[in-house]
């Protein structure tokens, strides 16, 4: 059931407090009781909005992923050529994840944990990301911008080549590497992928 607009400030307060507790204590030590106390309410009231601690933490993660999903939809809907869209979308995914990894590691770890446990909110996020990229690849094939006519092969090329740079689990392995150097390497990989898509040759 959709929540009424009057409930939004309360939910937002709970989420902001939950973010602060995850940053301060870590996800394992953050508790509904502590979050409720700091939010100025009973834990029973928190459960009115989120049925469990897991549900609350999933929403904490989903809330910072939604703007990225919106950017990808906007890019996919744009009038630019498919190869420009694809480059912009892949870099957007990398930059959003990388910034979170560098500036908000506790919340990035929530995303990694959700991926590791295949939680629903992150499965939906991955499906949305993949859907928008698939839409652009299919557009490129249909318009002739991409000579690689096998859509499945084209998508596999994109995701296989980009994996290290857009999958949070892989990105965490590069956490100590300099961000600009990693992005420069990704830009070179994207250029190779686009060349293959446009030529039809790998």
Looking at residue 41, which CATH number applies to its domain? Answer: 1.10.10
Q: What is the tens place of the pLDDT at every residue in 32-79?
A: 999 999 999 999 999 999 999 999 999 999 999 999 999 999 999 999
Among the listed residues 153, 141, 165, the one whose alpha carbon sits nearest the alpha carbon of residue 82: 141
Is 93 found in the same domain as 186? yes
Structural domain contains residue 56: no
Per-residue pLDDT for 1 more than 90? Answer: no
Neighbours of 24 (CB within 10 A): 11
Tokens 């959709």 — which residue? 2
Structural domain contains residue 16: yes
Q: What is the tens place of the pLDDT at every residue in 144-176?
A: 999 999 999 999 999 999 999 999 999 999 999
- What's the total number of domains in the chain? 2
Structural domain contains residue 55: no
Structural domain contains residue 193: yes
Is the pTM of the predicted complex or chain greater than 0.75? yes
Is 88 found in the same domain as 31? no
Neighbours of 113 (CB within 10 A): 16
> For the chain, what is the largest distance between any 2 Cα atoms, rounded to a whole number of angstroms?
61
Q: List the domain range (segments joined by +) for residue 26.
A: 5-49
Contact 56, 30 (CB under 8 A): no
Q: What is the tens place of the pLDDT at every residue in 12-31?
A: 999 999 999 999 999 999 99
CA atoms within 13 A on the CB side of 42: 3
Whole-number Å distance between alpha carbons of 172 and 60: 19
């Amino acid at each position: 059931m959709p929540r009424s607009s009057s409930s939004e400030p309360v939910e937002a307060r709970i989420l902001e407090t939950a973010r602060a507790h995850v940053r301060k204590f870590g996800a394992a030590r953050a508790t509904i009781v502590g979050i409720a106390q700091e939010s100025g309410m009973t834990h029973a009231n928190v459960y009115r909005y989120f049925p469990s601690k897991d549900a609350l933490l999933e929403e904490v993660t989903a809330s910072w992923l939604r703007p990225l999903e919106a950017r990808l939809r906007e890019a996919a809907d744009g009038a630019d050529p498919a190869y420009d869209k694809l480059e912009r979308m892949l870099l957007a995914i990398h930059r959003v994840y990388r910034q979170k990894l560098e500036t908000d590691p506790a919340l990035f770890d929530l995303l990694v944990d959700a991926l590791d446990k295949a939680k629903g909110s992150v499965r939906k996020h991955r499906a949305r990301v993949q859907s928008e990229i698939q839409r652009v690849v299919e557009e490129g094939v249909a318009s002739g911008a991409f000579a690689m006519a096998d859509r499945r092969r084209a998508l596999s090329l994109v995701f296989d080549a980009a994996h290290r740079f857009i999958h949070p689990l892989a990105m965490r392995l590069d956490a100590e590497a300099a961000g600009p150097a990693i992005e420069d390497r990704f830009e070179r990989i994207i250029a190779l992928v686009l060349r293959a898509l446009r030529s039809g040759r790998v």
